[in-house]
């Protein structure tokens, strides 16, 4: 009898611990309480190692902090001077409150003189990356969530080795969980050739340091500080459409020239510093840009310590005409979901494209439960049928936000992401055209589809919805 009392007391202590720690996040608290009921001891251990709030890295030394702050101030000054010249006579944002938010994002300002190229397929994007790397003279910075040792991965490996042997400085950063299958032989070949390789939060150390939940989801290539690439593509054959399950892979990726490259570079070197402790502020990595473009672009660096959630919320509430969304996963924050439903009530055209065939069944079940709410409010949702859609895009009237962040809680709060706000009509129009083309190969999901679900499917959606704050 005593052991029952002790077990009950221990269980009550675990519940109290979760409630005290998570009282400001009731949704997350409820999910972890469910996990505790299902797995009384294991669930608590998972909570301790997975749910801990992100701790910022140790403070920099006075010297390093001065160098870092000086770099940021210099980049901001350079960017703002060219923006003020380029902004003359232009009205770039549909809402004053949204413009105030964008103007005051603490890390990266709006930049001018940019030229953007949009890629919707992996082959085009990867060839552009490889061509830029082949032409490099000084340095190459590569950072991806997933890097595979397959045909595409080997092409990158061989070219990086070649450039390192030519004397180009090559830095290579990969995520410890996303690239957990990347073999030691692959990394050894890079290191032996002189490529500096680093792992962002390795699997084992992340577990014991309670950082398992905080992944680097960015996809970045910067060459000579003059051209940058970012977006949704990782390095792997499936992103070329060679996965037998999904076939065609639809994504959105960008190459960019101009002042925005400085902030893509800054994002990479911030991550490099977090992993290695190196503070790299040499001006050679931040050259004066000679781009003759006239596009305004804002690079938005986000993570567990600088969320993108406020920006997404503002894009939704400021929209007057349309909100078009493409995302492989739709697990919105309650505030974003309410803002979307309110926008529909205001008469805004809200449409969203998601995959018709999921890659993660549990996440897809949760996605459908949120989709049902949007449909009930009057929104329109489509399932992409041509293959798998991995594109991450929000078009709010005449602005667009795109990059690596999905429309889910992980991207909002837990993952390190890089996105860009595009102000230029040519870029936004191109993204609009891509969206309309995707609609042509998508099938609209109707409210009646949900009414015809079996009881088992409904229960799956309910269960997945309950766990969705953990996704």
pLDDT at position 89? 43
Count of structural domains, the chain: 3
Report yes or no on 443 lying in a domain: yes
Catalytic pick among 95, 271, 333, 397 = 397
* Whether 390 is catalytic: yes
For every residue of the chain, which 3-state class applies, written as one string?
CHHHHHHHHHHHHHHHHHHHHCCCCHHHHHHHHHHHHHCCCHHHHHHHHHCCCCCCCCCCCHHHHHHHHHHHHHHHHHHHHHHHHHCCCCCCCCCHHHHHHHHCCCCCCCEEEEEEEEECCHHHHHHHHHHHHHCCCCEEEEEECCECCCHHHHHHHHHHHHHHHCCCEEEEEEECCCCCCCCHHHHHHHHHCCCEEEEECCHHHHHHCCCCCCCECCCEEEECCCEEEEECCCECHHHHCCECCCECEECCEEEEECCHHHHHHHHHHHHHHHHHCCCCCCHHHCCCCCCCCCEEEEEEEEECCECCHHHHHHHHHHCCCEEEEECCCEECCHHHHHHHHHHHHCCCEEEEEEECCCCCHHHHHHHHHHHHHHHHHCCEEEEECCCEECCCEEEECCEEEEECCCEEHHHHHHCEEEEEEECCHHHHHHHHHHHHHHHHCEEEECHHHHHCCCHHHHHHHHHHHHHHHHC
Report yes or no on 291 lying in a domain: yes
Catalytic pick among 95, 149, 224, 251 = 224
* Residue at a domain's end among 268, 298, 328: 298
- Are 39 and 181 in the same domain? no
- CATH code where residue 291 lies: 3.30.870.10
Residue among 139, 174, 411 nearest 265 (CA): 139
* Whether 217 is catalytic: yes
Rounded to 5°, angle at Cα 15 from 11 and 20: 145
- Are 41 and 179 in the same domain? no
* Whether 386 is catalytic: no
Exposed (0-12), middle (13-18) or buried (19+): which is 265, by Cβ within 10 Å? buried
Beta pairing class for 349-355 and 380-384: parallel
Catalytic pick among 219, 253, 257, 341 = 219
pLDDT at position 202? 83
Compute the distance between CA of residue 430 and CA of residue 436 in angstroms, rounded to an integer: 10
Q: With a cut of 50, which residues of the chain have pLDDT below it?
A: 88-89, 91
pLDDT at position 85? 58
Residue among 376, 379, 328, 374 nearest 354 (CA): 328
pLDDT at position 28? 66
Q: How far apart are the first and last CA of the chain?
A: 39
Query: Quick check: 143 and 271 in contact, CB under 8 A?
Result: yes
- Are 132 and 222 in the same domain? yes
- Are 238 and 360 in the same domain? no
- Are 334 and 278 in the same domain? no
Report yes or no on 102 lying in a domain: no
Residue among 240, 211, 231, 224 nearest 148 (CA): 240
- Are 343 and 422 in the same domain? yes
CA distances from 182 to 82, 268, 274, 275, 409 (A): 42, 20, 21, 18, 26
Catalytic pick among 139, 175, 390, 424 = 390
The 10 Å Cβ neighbour count of residue 53 is 13
* Residue at a domain's end among 272, 298, 324: 298
pLDDT at position 381? 97
Report yes or no on 258 lying in a domain: yes
Report yes or no on 463 lying in a domain: yes
Query: Quick check: 459 and 369 in contact, CB under 8 A?
Result: no
Report yes or no on 172 lying in a domain: yes
pLDDT at position 431? 98
Report yes or no on 101 lying in a domain: no
- Are 46 and 132 in the same domain? no
Catalytic pick among 139, 141, 217, 341 = 217
Report yes or no on 3 lying in a domain: no
Catalytic pick among 95, 392, 398, 424 = 392
Range of the domain at 353: 309-470
Query: Quick check: 47 and 53 in contact, CB under 8 A?
Result: no
Residue among 460, 363, 409, 414 nearest 27 (CA): 409
- Are 168 and 294 in the same domain? yes
* Residue at a domain's end among 242, 275, 298: 298
- Are 282 and 327 in the same domain? no
- Are 269 and 223 in the same domain? yes
- Are 151 and 259 in the same domain? yes
- Are 180 and 153 in the same domain? yes
pLDDT at position 88? 46
């Amino acid at each position: 009898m005593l052991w029952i009392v002790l077990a009950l007391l221990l269980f009550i202590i675990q519940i109290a611990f979760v409630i005290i720690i998570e009282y400001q996040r009731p949704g997350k608290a409820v999910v972890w309480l469910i996990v505790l009921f299902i797995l009384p001891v294991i669930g608590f251990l998972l909570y301790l190692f997975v749910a801990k709030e992100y701790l910022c890295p140790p403070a920099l030394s006075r010297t390093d902090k001065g160098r870092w702050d000086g770099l940021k101030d210099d980049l901001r000054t350079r960017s703002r001077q060219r923006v003020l010249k380029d902004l003359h006579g232009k009205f770039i944002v549909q809402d004053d409150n949204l413009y105030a938010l964008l103007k005051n994002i603490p890390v990266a300002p709006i930049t001018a003189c940019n030229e953007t190229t949009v890629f919707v397929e992996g082959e085009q994007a990867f060839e552009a990356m490889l061509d830029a790397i082949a032409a490099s003279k000084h340095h190459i910075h590569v950072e991806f969530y997933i890097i595979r040792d397959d045909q595409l991965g080997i092409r990158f490996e061989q070219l990086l080795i070649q450039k390192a042997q030519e004397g180009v400085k090559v830095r290579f950063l990969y995520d410890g969980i996303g690239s957990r299958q990347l073999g030691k032989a692959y990394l050894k070949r890079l290191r032996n050739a002189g490529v500096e390789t680093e792992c962002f939060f390795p699997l084992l150390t992340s577990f014991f340091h309670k950082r398992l939940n905080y992944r680097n989801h960015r996809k970045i290539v910067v060459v000579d500080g003059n051209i940058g690439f970012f977006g949704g593509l990782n390095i792997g054959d499936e992103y070329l459409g060679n996965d037998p399950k999904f076939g065609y892979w639809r994504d959105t990726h960008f190459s960019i020239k101009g002042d925005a490259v400085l902030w893509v570079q800054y994002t990479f070197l911030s991550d490099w510093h977090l992993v290695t402790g190196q503070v790299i502020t040499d001006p050679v990595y931040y050259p004066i840009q000679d781009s003759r473009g006239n596009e305004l672009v804002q690079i938005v660096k986000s993570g567990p310590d600088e969320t993108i959630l406020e920006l997404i919320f503002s894009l939704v509430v400021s929209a007057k005409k349309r909100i078009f969304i493409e995302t492989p996963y739709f697990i919105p924050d309650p505030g974003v979901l309410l803002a979307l439903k309110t926008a529909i009530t205001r008469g805004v055209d809200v449409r969203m494209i998601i995959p018709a065939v999921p890659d993660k069944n549990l996440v897809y079940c949760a996605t459908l439960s949120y989709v049902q709410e949007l449909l009930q409010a009057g929104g329109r949702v489509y399932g992409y049928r041509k293959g798998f859609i991995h594109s991450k895009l929000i078009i709010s009237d005449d602005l667009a936000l795109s990059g690596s962040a999905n429309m889910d809680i992980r991207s909002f709060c837990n993952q390190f992401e890089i996105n860009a706000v595009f102000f230029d009509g040519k870029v936004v129009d191109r993204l609009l055209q891509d969206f309309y083309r995707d609609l042509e190969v998508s099938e609209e999901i109707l409210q009646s589809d949900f009414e015809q679900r079996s009881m088992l499917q409904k229960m799956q959606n309910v269960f997945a919805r309950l766990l969705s704050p953990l996704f």
